[in-house]
Structure formats: structure tokens, C-alpha cells
Structure 1
Amino acid sequence: METFYLVILGFLALLAVIDLFVGVSNDATNFLNSAVGCRIAPFKVILAVAGAGVLLGATFSGGMMEIAKSGVFNPGMFTFKSVMVIYLSVMVTDVMLLNFFNSLGLPTSTSVSIVFELLGASVGVAANEILSDGGTLSELGGYINNEKAFAMIAAILVSVVVAFVSGVVVQYLMRMIFTFRYEKTFRKLGGLFGGFSLAMVFYFLVMKGARGASFMTPELLAFLDDHTWQILGSIFVAGSVVLQLGMAFFRLNVFRVVILAGTFALAFAFAGNDLVNFVGVPIAALDSWKIYSAGGGAVPPEAFYMDALALPIAPPTVLLLLSGIVMVLTLRFSKSARRVIETSLNLSSSSTGDREQFGASAPGRLIVRTMMGVGQVVLAFVPLSLQRAVNRRFEPVEPPAGTEPLPFDYVRASVNLILTAILISTATSMQLPLSTTYVTFMVGMGSSLADRAWDRESAVYRISGVLVVVVGWFLTALTAFIAASLVATLVLYGGRPVSVLLIVLVLAVIVRMNLSKRRDQKKKRIDVRSLDRFGVRTLLNEDVARNYIASVSIFSEVVNALLVDSERALRHTNNRATVLMDEVSASRSLYYTMAKYHGTHDDLDARFLYYRSLTNMKEVCRSLQRVASQAQEHVANRHRIFSGNLAQNLVHLAGQLAETEEVIRDFSEGWASAADVQKKGQKLIDQVARDQEALLAGISEYRLSLRGCELYMTFLQFVRDIVNHYSIVVALQNRLNEICAEDSNDLGDPKGGQASSAPAPLGKA
């Protein structure tokens, strides 16, 4: 029996290490965004400062470990066996849940997950034990630490609102003081701003956030409490004087000091608050094992109650230090770090008009429309002179010609870092776990709103993003609670066999998701700044072949799903058509980014040819969406399905489109001529004409309704559309090949371009 519990401990330790790698790669890089976004220092310097904060913050996080021991449930009501069931269920659920949410692309939070998994597993074990003893569920209250659990849940939810409102208010005040042209004002007030920021960092980081550290003795805490104002005043005065002198005599950039200090503080706060999410449960399980072993093992695990787990037990400093080292190494070598940074920078960027991470939603539209109406009413009562004065404070500075605008400036970067660190450190001092990702996200969104980065081009999408975060919070919480409760019930009644099965299942999921070789399905990142006409040609050739093959594949699936009367399959293909439309639209939007950069006349022509080609591909996607949607509605309404020759003709058309894939790909690679593509296309157009005649002749025979005829014609129209639009695309590709060949004299190269005449559109829609 003891060996089995040791196996569980080893399994939990392995999951802790994996959680650290995954968690830091996806969460900890959030505190790099502000410093990287304003380009205050080289990336390596920012990374070194953040790494120091993470390492130190991990060693200060001892007080937060009590959450996994007694923060959610009352350990005195549970036996050693029950506690180990809870911890095993929590970690199993955590791995499965986070992988499930990641596969769906849904936002989640390790803090929300761990709290509700602990709550769900505790309730599941307690409910089963109460019922097996003949009790009632009204006794559950004695098993759960209701006051502390409610405080943690409320803190996580309220922090989202507080972070957003704080970001709006603080950034608005800072912008009113400094404006976007802050250089002149900052020469006068920069020292005061820096001194105040450093004092706040010290107060919330050391005097609040680090109170739970093992070296913070009662005497030291009492000294800090008794001399709070003297300490803060000294830091403020000394910092202000030193920084102001540095500006005056050494041209010191105070923003660099403040932003790097904020990066350190936020990294410190992250490690101090979030480390419990990754190693809190394994450390609590280790402490439970030590308590049970100290009892001599004379009492069976199912009869040994864990009252001692409620006592303050300082976690081993070496474990915290090792956890910090793992986090720093992950932060340094994680390949996903830059991807996470780019995502968050896009959400809070000052630039607008680019593709947003979140789509539009009806509630987002309603909120924006309502707030615009309210804003117009309020402005009607504000004097125009005051409006003009305020607007001047928020006039952005245009970047020099030929340079990219920063996602945000030094002022907003400072607010994002300092304010987020203050919120997280305050929660840590109260032993309340927060979602650092959500807090960072909401502060950034709030400060971007205050900076008027939300305009009519982006407001709906960013409001929708905020709503997605809130909905994701509730979805994560509910799913974690239910799943952990069910897993705990399975483990409780299944015993060792079920426990071993779950361990094997989790390890298999980890290997599949993280260690096995996976196909990279993401589109390669493109630096459009370096795309000349040759780069545009390569990019276009890849897009044409990929999008044509995807369109034909989806069309074939629609045909097959319709003929077998499968609404579920049609719903799937409809979603695929929508995804393809989004991808083609995103590729098409690259043209607007390309247009910002100079090039030769041929380069500009190549970019416009790319735009026109993607426009035609987008029209094909629009036609494909119409086919998929109409077919799904046809089946959902239980209308008659095509049969006989009509069904065979559709299958034959789909097959002919699939055969055309090869010649499209060969032309893109330079191994076929435009005439070859035209010949294939003409064959398809002729077949569509024959199928249309067969439809008209068979209306009576197949008892087709008007809806059935319309649907069939929609299928035929799609084939016409894809042939016509891709014949135009091939003509544009051909022209681009000629442009490249004229300049580089590479006609002998297979990819240098074809000299054949461009095909004309085949057939009429």
C-alpha cells in the first residue's frame, strides 16, 4: 500500500515539472509584453530582469502553498486516503482539462482551474463518504472551508473587473498629465514619477507580497509595519532625487528604470502567486505523506485523519528554488514565448485596422452602440473648449516615415507593469490566488481603452474579447468543478485499477500533446517587409495550391454529407468553410501591410496581383459557404435528398474537381502551362452544362421541389465559380511570372514563369 502512494507522489512530481514548463511558456511571458512592446531595452536584457524576478518570487511563495492544503477543504474531516484521492483527481483533471481547452482554442486560467478542481474533488469525495455513511448532503458544509473558498473565488472574479477599471482610470490620469508628447513634461516630473513608482513597487512587492516568505520573521514584519511611511518616504525622496539628477547630468532614461523595475516586479508577483497552481498540490501531497508516515503507519490510510495538514507547514525552500530554476530555464528557452507576446501585444496595441484576435459578437455590438449613444449625450453637455483641451492631451504622435508604430509608448508600458504587479502582490499578501493572465490582459485592455486605442475599427472586437475572458472564467470554473468531482468519484470507488488507468491515460495525453512529433498545421509566419516580387510570387503560388485543394476537399465533403443525409457532417463542413474563408481573408489582408513598405514599380505590381488573386479566391470561399449553408439547411429541414443520376453527377463533378488539383499545383510549381489549366477548366464547364440539362429533364422523374432545384443549381454554380475565379488567378500568376522573368532573365528556370498566354474566364456564372 505504501508503495502505491509513493507511485502517486512520483506521478504528481512529474506533472508538477510538466506544468511548470507548459505554464511558464504560456503564462509567464505575459509580463514581458509591456517591456518588449515599447522596446525599452534589448530582449535579452528584459529576459534577464524577468528571470531574476521569477527566481526570487518563487522562493517567496511559501505562504501561497497553504491554499492546496487547507484553503479549500477542512483537512481534519478527511483521511489520508481521501486526501490523496483529492490530489490525484485534481492533477489528472488539470492536465486533461487544460489540454481540452487548448485544443478548442478557448481561454482558460490555471488559477481558476486549480481552485475549482480542488473544490470539485473535495465535494465529490465528501459527498460520497457522507452518503455511504447514511448521512445527508446538508453535512457538506463541515468538509469545505466555505469562507476561504468563497473569498478566493470572489477574488478571481472581482480581479477581472478591478484590473480593467484600474487600467482605465490610472492610464487616463497619466495621459492627462504627460500626454503623448511627454518629453517636455517628463523632464520636470520624471524624477517624481520614477521615485513614486519605485516606492510602490517596494511597498507592494516586499512589504505586502513577500509577507509569506519563510525568512520574514515576526520581528521583521513588525518593524516594516511600524515604519511603513518612513521607509516609503525615504525611497520616494531618494529615488526622486537620484533619478532627477541622473536625467539632468547623465541623460538617464527614467522610463527604462521604471519599466525594467516593473518587469522585475511583475515577474516576481507572477511567481509568488502562480507557483501554487503548478506545484502546490504535489507539495501538499508530499506533506500529507510525511504526516501519515510520522504517525508510524499503525493506522490504515482510510482511518488516519489529516488534522495536522491544517497547521502552517513551511514548504522546503529547496523545492521552491528548484521550481524557480525550472521556470527561469523555461522562460529562457521556450520557443512559444515570442508567439505569446505577439498575441497579447495585438490585443492591447494602439494600432487599429488589423485583424483582431477575437471576432465580433452581438453583445459586443450592443455595448459599443449603447456607449456611443451615451457618449454623444454626455458630450452635448460638455463645453467645446473643454473637449478640445482634453482631445489635445490624447493626440497621438505620428511615427517617422518608414517606421512601424510601437504597440504602446513608455507611459502605458509603465502603467501596465506597475499596476498589474500591485494588484497581484496585494492578492498574494492576502493568500488569494489570481489569474495573472486575466489580470494582465484586463489591465492592458483598460489602459488601451483609456488611450483611445479602441476606435470604431476595433471596439466591437475588443469588447467581445473582454466578454470571452469573462465567459471563459465561468466555463473553466464549471467544467473544472464537475470534472474533478467525477474523477474523484471514479478513483474513490475504482481504487488502484482506476488510479493506474488514469495515470497511464494522462501520461499518454502528455506524450501525444507535448512530446510526440506533430505536424505543424499553422501557417508559416511571414515578414512582409522583405517581400519583393519574387517573394510575393512564392507566397502566391503556395496560397493558390493550398486554397484550391482545401476548397475542393470541403466541396466533396458537402456532396457526400448531403447524399447520406448527415446534418452533423454538414455542420462540420460548414464550419470548415468558415475557417477557410477567415484564412483567405487574413492572407488577403497582408496586401495592406505590404503596401506600407516601399519597393520598385515591379514589386508594387506584384503585390497588387497578389491582392487580386486572393480576392478571387475569397469569392470562391464565399460561394463555398453558400453551398455548405444551403445544404445544411436542406437536410435540417428534412427535404428530399438527391438520388439516381443527379446524385451520381454531383459525385462525378467533385471527382473532376479533385483531378484538377494536380494541374493547379503543377502550374504553381512551374511544371504546367496556363493552357493545361484552361483545358481542364473547359472540360468541367462542359460537364456542368450537361448536368444542368439533366436536372431540367429530370425534375418530374425525381419529383424535385423548387428548393431541391435551387440547391442543385447552387452546387453547379459553385463549380462554375471555382473554375472561373481560378482561371483568373492563373492568369494573374502568369502575369507575375512574366514580371519576374523580365527582370531576372530566368526564363530557363522552371519557376521563372511561363510565356504562354493567359486563359480567359471559362463560362458564365
Structure 2
Amino acid sequence: MDSYYLVMLAFLGVIAIIDLFVGVSNDAVNFLNSALGCRIAKFRTTMWVATAGVLLGATFSSGMMEIARSGVFNPQMFSFAEIMVIFFAVMVADVILLDAFNTLGLPTSTTVSIVFELLGSAIAAACFKLVADGASLTEVADYINNSKALTIISGILVSVVVAFVSGAVIQYIARLIFSFRFEGAYRKVGGVYAGLAITAIIYFLVMKGAKGASFMRPEWIDWINANTTVILATLFIGLTIVFQAFISLFNINVFKIIILAGTFSLAFAFAGNDLVNFVGVPLAAYDAYREWAASGVSDGAFMMGGLLKPSTAPTAFLLFSGLVMVLTLWFSKKAHRVIQTSINLSSAQSGEQEQFGASLPGRMIVRASMTLGSVIHQIMPGTLSRALASRFEPAPVAEGTQPLPFDYVRASINLVLSAILIASATSLKLPLSTTYVTFMVAMGSSFADGAWDRETAVYRISGVLTVISGWFITALCASTLAGIVATLVFFGGEIMAVILGLAAIALLVRSNIRATLSDDSLVNQSNVRYDAPTIRTMIDEKAPENLRRSIELCRSILDGLLSDRESALRSAKSDASEFFDDLSAARGIYYRMALSDKKPSEADFDARYCYFRAFTNMREVGRSLQGLAKLALDHVANRHRVYEGRLADDLRTLVGLLEAMSKSENGNPDIAVFHANAQKALQAIDRLQSELLRAIPAEGISIRGSELYLTFLLFARELINHYEITAMIQTKVNALAQEP
């Protein structure tokens, strides 16, 4: 039995490392999006600052470890064997759940995950124990630390409101002071603003967080507490003088110092508050094992009241955990994807593909807000209204420069305020959700800053609602999944634990080794120069690929229809919608091209418009595919007759002719072969259309059947026409690219 628990501890250690990787991939957005979004420093500089913050912050997390030991359940009610199953179920459920959210590119809360997984697995263990003892299930509440659990959960929920309101109010005040043309006010009060920001960071991060540091001595903490006022006053006055001198005498941009310091502090606060989410459970399991091994009592009889005692994690272990987090920051593709999601939602840009679609609640909120805004505007004096509006008038974007998702003022507010809120919770040993706080602060500041205009508001609100609903779904899924895993292990014993552990690791290895990221790297995303040769390459690569994908989807729709399989058509309909979204996003790059460089040539201008025309034609094919898939799905779902005999064979022949159009030699399509096959397909379409008119009365084809058949023919004709135009555009772009 001893070896069984040693293997389980080793497994929990491996899972902890994987969980660190998965969790940081999810939470990197919390402390990187503001600095990367305002582009105040190079990518590597920002990453090195975040690296230092994570490593140092990890050593301040020791005081949070008791959350996993006794923060959600009463450990004295469980035996060692039951506690180990609880911890095992938590880690298996947590790493799978977070990896699933990361794969979807959605930020979620690791704190919500760990709290509800502990709750779900503890309830499952309590129920198993009560049933085995023949007791009533109403006694489950005795096994749960109700007051602490409710405090943690209510704190997480309240943080949503506090973070959003704080971000909106403070950003509104900051914008009134600085406006978007903040150079003038910055030279007058920039030193005070920087001094206040850095002083607040030091107070909440270092002085308030010192109690949780693994290396702090009691006498040091007592001295800090006794001299807090003097320290803060000295820091504020000294830093204000220094920063004002930087601005006035040396023309140094102190926003860079604030934002990088904010990035450091938020990474620091993240590591201090969230490390318990990843390694708290394995450390608690290790402490439980040591107590049991020293007791000499059987695993089922030894009760775990020892977990109620405070515990300090070794500094070396915390630093190792911080190192794993740092490596994840640098090398995780998923982390970059989640960062891009958050930057898109808080960006002030519009016109490109939004991360989320519109929703009915989003539309209702926008409509109600516009009505309320109209009423306020009518009541407010005109002079005051114009004065306020002038402070929120965006600064013009210099020609040839790419607009930032948000400026230095908003980036600094996002970072400093988020760090203050999280560090305050850490000092109270409350595992606040860093994802809740940073995301809602960013949303509140972007709302106050006018980033949610009429072009983007409904999408941004829908995105916020989607992400928040994802967090609540996380709570339900986390508790349910952990409860199921715990129940399976209780019933299946050691064999089931081995199966579940290996399955969890296998799923994660496959996901993280084989997963690919189609999005551009954050480092290179804004460095492309869209000249004529580049655009020629982009069209030449994507046009054949999109043609093949369009025909493949058409084949999938036809196969699903002729085989009368509704599930296949639903899958094809989903694929067609995803394809259309991809085409829309690709076409949206055109709007970025106008800002890529200062002096494009006439050929570059013409090539860019050709790009727009080419992808517009390809997108129209994607739109037609959506309509065809929906019509075919409705036909089968309503149980109408599907085609047989000659009609079915003719449609298969037509799709075969379309597939011949997409054939290529060594990946390079032959334009002449393409045109020849296109003409054959057009002739076949004309023939099939004529034959259908004769087949309707002869074979008794219904109006619905005729409509669907003609829609297939219409799609084929549109595909040929649009890609013929795209081929001509490719020829023109090729000529433009060869101009000197």
C-alpha cells in the first residue's frame, strides 16, 4: 500500500507540472495583454519583466497554500485514503478542464476551477463515506468548510462587479485628466501620477504581501507594519520628484516605467495568488503522506486533522514552480492565443473580424444603453457635454502607423489597478480569481474609454457575456468532473486510478504536442509589409487552398444528403460556417494593409485592392456554401425524399468535374487546365438544368426537391464564376508584382 501512495504522489507531481503549463497558458493574458496591447516596449523586454515578476511572486505564495489543505472541506472528517482520492480527482479534473478551455482560446478562472473541484470531489468522498457507513446524506454539510468556501466563492463573484466598476471609474477620471492627447497634462502631472502608481504597487505588492513570503521573518514584518505611513509618504514624495525630473529634464517617457512596473507587479501578484491553484494540492498531499507514514496507523483509519495546521512551502520548490511558469510564458502557443483573445475584446479598433459574434442579450444591452445615453445627453447642459466629449475625442493616427488596441493611460490603469486588487486579496489569504479581476478591469476601462462604439459594442458585450458564462460553466463542470473522477476511483480502486491518470496524461500530451496555432505569432503579427510581391504570395497560397476546401465541403454536403444522414449534414453545416468565418477574417486583413507602411507604391495600392476583390469573391462562395448546407440539412431533417438513380449520379458527376478544376501539379495549379475544366463543368450545369425540367413530371420530383437540386447547380455555377474572376485577379497581381 505504501508503494501505491508513493506512485500517486509521483503522479500528482507530474500533473502539477502539466497543470502549471496548462494554467499559465490560460492566465498569461492576465499580466501580458496590456503591455503587449499598447506596444510600449519590445516583446522580449515585456516577457523578461514578466519573468522576473513571476519568479519573485512565486516565493510570496506560501501563505496561500492552506486553501488546498482546509479552505474548502474539513480534513479532520476524512481518512488519509479518502484525502488522497480527493486530491487525485482534483488534479485530474483540473488539468483536463483547463486544457479544454485553452484549446478553445477562452480565458477562464483557475481559482474557480480549483475551488469547485475541491468542493465536488469532497462532496463525492463524503457521500461515499456516508453511504458506506449507512448514515444519512444530509450530513454531507458537516464535511464542508461552509464559511470559508462561501467567503471564497462570494469574493470571486463580488470581484466581478468591483473590478469592472473600479476600472470604469478610475479610467474615466484618468481620461478626464489626460485626454487622448495627453502630452500636455502628462508634462504637468505625469510625475505625480507615476509616483502614486509605483507607491501603490510597492504598498500592496510588497508591504501587504510580505506576510505570505516564504523567506520573511516576523521581526521584519513587524517593522514594516509599525512604519507603514512613513514609508509610504517617503516613497510617494521621493518618486514624484524623481519622475517629474525624468519628464522635465530628460524627456523620459515615465509611462514606460509605469507599464513595465505594472507588468512586473501583476505577474508578481498572479504568481503569489494563483500558484496555490496549480501546486497547492500536490503539496497538501505530500504533507498528508508524511503525517500518515510517521503515524503507523492504517490508511483508512488515520484521520487528517493535521492538515488544519499552518504550513510553509519550501522556497526552493516555489522557485522551481515559478521556473515552470516562466518557461510556459515563453514557449506556449496556447498562451499567445488567449492573449490575442483578450486584446481583441478590449481593443479600440473596429472593422476587422470580431472575436465573438453578436447575441440577443448583447443587442438588448446596447439598445438600452443607447436609449439611456440619449436621455442623459438631452438633460446635460450643452457646454458640459461638449467639454466632456472633447476629453474623449481620440487622437488622430499618423499616416502609415498601426493604431494601438489601447494607449499608455489605459494600459497603466489596467495593470496597476488589477495588481492592487489581486495583491489586496492575497494579503487576506483570499484566492481571488486573477482572471476575473484583470479581464473585468480591462473591460471596465475600455467601456469608460469609449472603445465600445456602435461598430463594436454588441460584439464586445457578447464576448464579455460569453467569457463570463464560460467561467460559471467552469464551476459546474469542475465540480461535476471532479466528483465523477473521485467516485470512479472509490469504486474502481487502484486500477481505476491508474487508468484515469494515464488517460489524463495521454490526452494532454496529444493536445499540447499535436496542437497547431493558425494565428500569427504575437511577435511578428504587426511586422508584415503588404507590398505587391507579398500580396501575390498570399493570394497564390490561399486561392487554390480555398477552392479545394469549398469543393470538399460541397462533396460532404452531397454525400450527407444522398446517404440521408442528418448528423453528417450538421457537421458539414458547422464546417461551412467556420470556413466562411475564416474567409471573412482573411479578407479583413485588407483594412490592416492601409496602415502597414508609410509610402506604398502605386502597384502596392492596386495589389491591395486586388486582394480585397479576390477574397470577396472567395467569401461569396463561402456564403453560398452556408446556404446550400442549411437547405440540405433542412431537407433531410424534415424527412423529405433524397435523390436516387440518375439525379444522384448527375450530381456526383458534377462535383467530380469541380474537383478536376482544383487538381494541380506539384501544388501549382495550371490556369489553362483550370479554365478548360471550368468550361466542362459549365456545360454540364446547363445540361443538368435542362434535364431537370423534363424529369420533374416524369419522376414526380417535388418543388422542394427541385429547389435543392437547382441550388446545387447554382452553387456550382457561382463557384466557377467567382474563382474564374479570382484567377484573372491573380494574373493582374502577378503583373503588378513584377513592376519595378
TM-score of the pair, normalised by structure 2: 0.95
Deviation, structure 1 residue 219: 4.3
Deviation, structure 1 residue 216: 4.2
The aligned counterpart of 2:147 is 147
The aligned counterpart of 1:763 is none
The aligned counterpart of 1:536 is 535
Deviations 1:263-287 (A, max 9, x none): 2211110000111111111111111
Deviation, structure 1 residue 629: 0.4
Retained in 1: the 8 A contact 2:215–2:315?
no
* Secondary structure of 1:402 counterpart: coil
Deviations 1:257-307 (A, max 9, x none): 322221221111000011111111111111111111121x2x211111000
The aligned counterpart of 1:581 is 580
Which of 301, 322, 329 is the matching residue for 1:303?
301
Cα distance in 2 for residues equivalent to 1:527 and 1:396: 21
Which of 702, 714, 718 is the matching residue for 1:721?
718
Deviations 1:603-635 (A, max 9, x none): 222222221111111111111111100111111
Deviation, structure 1 residue 334: 4.5
Cα distance in 2 for residues equivalent to 1:335 and 1:485: 31
The aligned counterpart of 1:58 is 58
Alignment CA distance shift 1:667-1:105 (3 Å): same
Letter in 1 for 2:548: I
Deviation, structure 1 residue 326: 2.4
Cα distance in 2 for residues equivalent to 1:68 and 1:645: 68
Alignment of 1:66-145 (within 5 A): 66-145=66-145
The aligned counterpart of 1:478 is 476
Alignment CA distance shift 1:325-1:353 (3 Å): same
Deviation, structure 1 residue 218: 4.5
Cα distance in 2 for residues equivalent to 1:294 and 1:634: 70
Retained in 1: the 8 A contact 2:671–2:727?
no
Retained in 1: the 8 A contact 2:22–2:102?
no
Alignment of 1:91-240 (within 5 A): 91-240=91-240
Deviation, structure 1 residue 739: 3.4
The aligned counterpart of 1:749 is none
Alignment of 1:510-589 (within 5 A): 510-515=508-513, 517=514, 529-589=528-588
Alignment CA distance shift 1:678-1:38 (3 Å): closer
The aligned counterpart of 1:501 is 499
Deviations 1:636-672 (A, max 9, x none): 112122222112222222222222210xx45983x62
**Would you say how many aligned residue pairs link Structure 1 and Structure 2?**
736
Alignment CA distance shift 1:500-1:641 (3 Å): same
Question: In terms of mean alpha carbon deviation, does 696-705 or 386-395 score higher?
Answer: 696-705
Deviation, structure 1 residue 331: 3.0
Alignment CA distance shift 1:667-1:458 (3 Å): farther
Alignment of 1:180-579 (within 5 A): 180-295=180-295, 297=296, 299-334=297-332, 338-515=336-513, 517=514, 529-579=528-578
* Secondary structure of 1:359 counterpart: coil
The aligned counterpart of 1:30 is 30
Retained in 2: the 8 A contact 1:61–1:210?
no
Cα distance in 2 for residues equivalent to 1:427 and 1:332: 27
* Secondary structure of 1:579 counterpart: helix
Cα distance in 2 for residues equivalent to 1:103 and 1:526: 20
Alignment CA distance shift 1:233-1:496 (3 Å): same
Question: In terms of mean alpha carbon deviation, does 237-246 or 579-588 score higher?
Answer: 237-246
* Secondary structure of 1:201 counterpart: helix
* Secondary structure of 1:401 counterpart: coil
* Secondary structure of 1:301 counterpart: coil
Alignment CA distance shift 1:446-1:556 (3 Å): same
Deviations 1:125-174 (A, max 9, x none): 11111112111221011101111111111222222222111111000011
Cα distance in 2 for residues equivalent to 1:180 and 1:609: 35
Deviations 1:456-478 (A, max 9, x none): 11111111111012100111110
Alignment CA distance shift 1:250-1:532 (3 Å): closer
Alignment CA distance shift 1:72-1:469 (3 Å): same
Cα distance in 2 for residues equivalent to 1:46 and 1:277: 24
Q: For the aligned residues, what is the CA RMSD?
A: 2.1
Deviation, structure 1 residue 310: 1.0
Cα distance in 1 for residues equivalent to 2:337 and 2:558: 38
Retained in 1: the 8 A contact 2:105–2:341?
no
Cα distance in 2 for residues equivalent to 1:326 and 1:656: 54
Cα distance in 1 for residues equivalent to 2:46 and 2:621: 46
The aligned counterpart of 2:693 is 696
Asked if 1:657 is matched to 2:654, the reply is: no
Cα distance in 2 for residues equivalent to 1:718 and 1:523: 32
Cα distance in 2 for residues equivalent to 1:29 and 1:619: 35
Alignment CA distance shift 1:522-1:170 (3 Å): closer
Cα distance in 1 for residues equivalent to 2:611 and 2:665: 19
* Secondary structure of 2:303 counterpart: coil
Retained in 1: the 8 A contact 2:73–2:144?
yes
Retained in 2: the 8 A contact 1:24–1:330?
yes
Question: In terms of mean alpha carbon deviation, does 401-410 or 370-379 score higher?
Answer: 401-410
Alignment CA distance shift 1:213-1:523 (3 Å): closer
Cα distance in 2 for residues equivalent to 1:632 and 1:183: 58
Letter in 1 for 2:606: D
Retained in 1: the 8 A contact 2:65–2:276?
yes
Question: In terms of mean alpha carbon deviation, does 64-73 or 313-322 score higher?
Answer: 313-322
Question: In terms of mean alpha carbon deviation, does 357-366 or 731-740 score higher?
Answer: 731-740
Alignment CA distance shift 1:511-1:43 (3 Å): closer
Deviation, structure 1 residue 529: 4.3
Question: In terms of mean alpha carbon deviation, does 326-335 or 286-295 score higher?
Answer: 326-335
Letter in 2 for 1:533: A
Cα distance in 1 for residues equivalent to 2:334 and 2:487: 36
Deviation, structure 1 residue 693: 2.9
Alignment of 1:734-745 (within 5 A): 734-741=731-738, 743=739
The aligned counterpart of 2:621 is 620
The aligned counterpart of 1:630 is 631
Letter in 1 for 2:325: M
Cα distance in 1 for residues equivalent to 2:94 and 2:336: 25
The aligned counterpart of 1:752 is none
Alignment of 1:4-23 (within 5 A): 4-23=4-23
Letter in 2 for 1:652: T
Question: In terms of mean alpha carbon deviation, does 433-442 or 130-139 score higher?
Answer: 433-442
Deviation, structure 1 residue 374: 0.8
Deviation, structure 1 residue 526: 6.5
* Secondary structure of 1:698 counterpart: helix
The aligned counterpart of 1:594 is 593
Deviation, structure 1 residue 405: 2.4
Deviations 1:520-573 (A, max 9, x none): 655797768422222211111111111111111111111111112221111111
Question: In terms of mean alpha carbon deviation, does 279-288 or 606-615 score higher?
Answer: 606-615
Retained in 2: the 8 A contact 1:544–1:668?
no
Retained in 1: the 8 A contact 2:27–2:107?
no
* Secondary structure of 1:259 counterpart: helix
Alignment CA distance shift 1:175-1:51 (3 Å): same
Cα distance in 1 for residues equivalent to 2:509 and 2:667: 38
Cα distance in 2 for residues equivalent to 1:691 and 1:203: 78
Deviation, structure 1 residue 107: 4.0
Cα distance in 2 for residues equivalent to 1:45 and 1:677: 50
